[in-house]
Chain A
Amino acid sequence: MADVIALTYEISPDDFTRAGEASSDVKSKLKQVGVSPAAIRKVAIAMYEGEINMVIHAEGGKITVEISPTEIKMILADKGPGIPDIEQAMQAGWSTAPDEVRSLGFGAGMGLPNMKKYTDEMNIETTLGVGTTITMVVKI
C-alpha cells in the first residue's frame, strides 16, 4: 500500500489578510513531492477559494489534505451557518457575501463554481445551523 501524506490546517476566522496561507503551504508541499504543475494549479485554486469561503462565511474551520500517488483529496469542514440552497449557490454570480467582502475582491459568486471547475470530484454536505463539509478530489 502506497503512502498517503496527510496535512491538517486550522483556518482562523476574522483574519482576512491571512486567508490563503494554508493553500500556499499545500502548493509548496505538492511542488516538493513532484506533483505536476497542472494538478498543483487546480488544487491551489480550488483550495484557496474554499479557504476564503471559510473565512467569509463560516468563521473558519479545518482543512485536511490527503496526497496519494493517484489523487489529492481536500476536505474542508466548517461549523458555519450551512448552505440553504446548494443549487443556487453553485450558480456563477450568485453570492450572499456582504459589500465589505466585495470591496476586498471576493464575493463575486464564483467561489463554488470555481471549486467545481478545477476539481475532478466535488461533494457538498451541509446542514443549516450545523456546518458544511466540502470534499474535493484532483486526480494526478
Chain B
Amino acid sequence: MTVRDAMNVLGARVLVGEENLDREVRSACGSDMMSDVLAFSKDHSILLTGLCNPQVIRTAEMLDIVCIIFVRGKKPDNTILEMAKERDLVVLETGHRMFSSCGMLYAAGLHGGAI
C-alpha cells in the first residue's frame, strides 16, 4: 500500500511530507522502544510510535523508514518536525491508540514482515 492508503485507513493528519504520500510501504513496526525498532524493522516500513523525541527521527533515518505515525494524539514539536523534513520523511498523526492503529493497518493488508 502507499502512505496515503495508510493515512486514509487511520484517518490520520499529515504533519510533514505531503509530497511523498504516494510512496510505497511494505511493512510496519509499532513500538515505543527504539532499540526494538532497530532490531526488527524492515526497509520501506512505517513506524508507529507514541514516543515523541528526536531519536524517533534518527531511528527512522538509520532504517530508511518511509513514514512515522505518531499514535494516541502525540504532537511532535517543531524541532522534531524540522528534522523529519530535512530527512524527507512523512510524518502523520492519529488519535487512535497503538493497538488499534496497528490492527487497522494489519486488517487493511499491511503486515509486520517475517520474523
A105 touches B33 (CB 8 A): yes
Interface band, chain B: 20 to 34
User: Are B35 and A107 touching (Cβ within 8 A)?
Assistant: yes
Please name all residues of chain A whose beta carbon is closer than 8 Å to the beta carbon of B79 when the two chains form the complex: 17
**In the complex, A124→B39 CA distance in Å?**
20
Contact indicator B55/A16 (Cβ below 8 Å): yes
B34 touches A41 (CB 8 A): no
Q: How far is the CB of A96 from chain B (nearest CB, A)?
A: 14
User: Would you call the interface of chain A mostly helix, strand, loop, or mixed?
Assistant: helix
Of B33, B51, B54, B62, which is within 8 A of A44 by CB? B62
Binding site for A on B (CB under 8 A): 32-36, 38-39, 43, 49, 51, 53-56, 58-59, 61-64, 79
Q: A residues near B, CB below 8 A?
A: 16-17, 19-20, 23-24, 27, 37, 41, 44-45, 48-49, 52, 92, 102, 104-111, 113-114, 117
